């Protein structure tokens, strides 16, 4: 199978080190359009769409394979193998933080650093853990996606952006959500919101940066802190940006934080 075509892999830049940018639920690689170009001068950049999103080969989708985050991590591993990646930096937004963690454990030599932007290992509230959502909330969202996907897109875009003074960003997000396959996104949402990767965090050995924004309606700040306590030697940064998508709403701050973390590794 042609992995490059399947995941609509886009490669730019000439650098010795590769930075892989991975999008979150309901999105595609275009979410990185304000951030990735800043890295093309010094790094090789790799962007892609998960199967079912963006311009991926949607016929490659199977509910069996993508019934857990492992299937999405397998996409990442396939891409790493087909490009023969070594010591790449994986930048994952939202659920891609955990997908990247799974992939890095599977291919330790492919990924030397992880960046997680607004990550969550578990979205549900538990007695000893503030995930942010009650199970009933999640079921309501999944029902909405099933009954009227475009209505869900309209509802979720402003919640996820949290930048009401810039309506164009919300419109852009809604359009992106609406362009994806409703059935695939509904299953991806179920897999995302019901996943529990908390036990996995202690196993992560590579240097990891957790970027957490203020006023994130999807992931409470306590979750970022929790991840930080669980991943040995990780760095945690509370950004000035608001909302769940700083790579869209605050690209300059995002670029700066990423460069500080990975820029120094380019010299060796």
Per-residue pLDDT tens digits for 128-175 = 999 999 999 999 999 999 999 999 999 999 999 999 999 999 999 999
At residue 264 the predicted structure's pLDDT band, cuts being 50, 70 and 90, is low
* pTM as predicted: 0.96
CATH superfamily to which 3-121+197-267 belongs:
Alpha/Beta hydrolase fold, catalytic domain (3.40.50.1820)
H or E segment to which residue 10 belongs: strand 10-12
At 127 the pLDDT is: 95
**60: which residues sit within 8 A by CB, 6+ positions away?**
1, 6, 51
CA distance 51 to 56: 5
What are the residue numbers of the active site? 94, 216, 244
Rounded to an integer, the average pLDDT of 26-48 is: 96
Q: Where are the beta strands (DSSP E) in 79-118?
A: 88-93, 111-117
Per-residue pLDDT tens digits for 189-225 = 999 999 999 999 999 999 999 999 988 999 999 999 9
Nearest one of 18, 1, 30 to 176, comparing CA atoms: 30
At 265 the pLDDT is: 46
Between helices 149-161 and 167-179, what is the axis angle to 10°? 140
Residue 266: is its pLDDT beyond 90? no
CA distance 7 to 258: 24
The sign of the CA dihedral 241, 243, 247, 248 is negative
Token digits of residue 126: 């538990």
Per-residue pLDDT tens digits for 58-108 = 999 999 999 999 999 999 999 999 999 999 999 999 999 999 999 999 999
**Percent of the chain at pLDDT above 90?**
94
Domain spans in the chain, listed from the N-terminal domain onward = 3-121+197-267
At 152 the pLDDT is: 94
Longest dimension (CA), the chain: 52
At residue 263 the predicted structure's pLDDT band, cuts being 50, 70 and 90, is confident
At 1 the pLDDT is: 78
CA distance 14 to 242: 32
């Amino acid at each position: 199978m042609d992995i490059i075509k399947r995941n609509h892999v886009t490669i730019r830049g000439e650098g010795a080190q590769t930075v892989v940018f991975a999008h979150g639920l309901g999105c595609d690689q275009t979410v990185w359009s304000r951030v990735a170009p800043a890295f093309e001068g010094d790094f090789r950049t790799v962007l892609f769409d998960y199967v079912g999103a963006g311009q991926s080969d949607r016929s490659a989708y199977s509910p069996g394979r993508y019934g857990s985050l492992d299937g999405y991590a397998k996409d990442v591993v396939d891409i790493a193998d087909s490009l023969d990646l070594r010591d790449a930096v994986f930048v994952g937004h939202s659920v891609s933080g955990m997908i990247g963690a799974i992939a890095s454990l599977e291919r330790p030599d492919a990924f030397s650093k992880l960046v997680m932007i607004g990550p969550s290992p578990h979205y549900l509230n538990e007695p000893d853990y503030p995930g942010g959502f009650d199970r009933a909330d999640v079921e309501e969202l999944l029902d909405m996606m099933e009954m009227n996907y475009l209505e869900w897109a309209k509802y979720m875009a402003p919640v996820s952006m949290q930048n009401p003074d810039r309506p164009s960003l919300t419109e852009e997000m809604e359009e992106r959500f609406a362009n994806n396959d409703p059935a695939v996104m509904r299953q991806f949402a179920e897999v995302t919101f019901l996943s529990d990767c908390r036990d996995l965090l202690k196993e992560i050995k590579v240097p990891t940066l957790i970027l957490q924004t203020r006023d994130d309606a999807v992931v409470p700040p306590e979750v970022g802190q929790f991840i930080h306590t669980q991943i040995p030697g990780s760095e945690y940064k509370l950004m000035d940006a608001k909302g769940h998508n700083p790579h869209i709403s605050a690209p300059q701050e995002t670029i700066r934080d990423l460069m500080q973390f990975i820029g120094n590794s380019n010299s060796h």
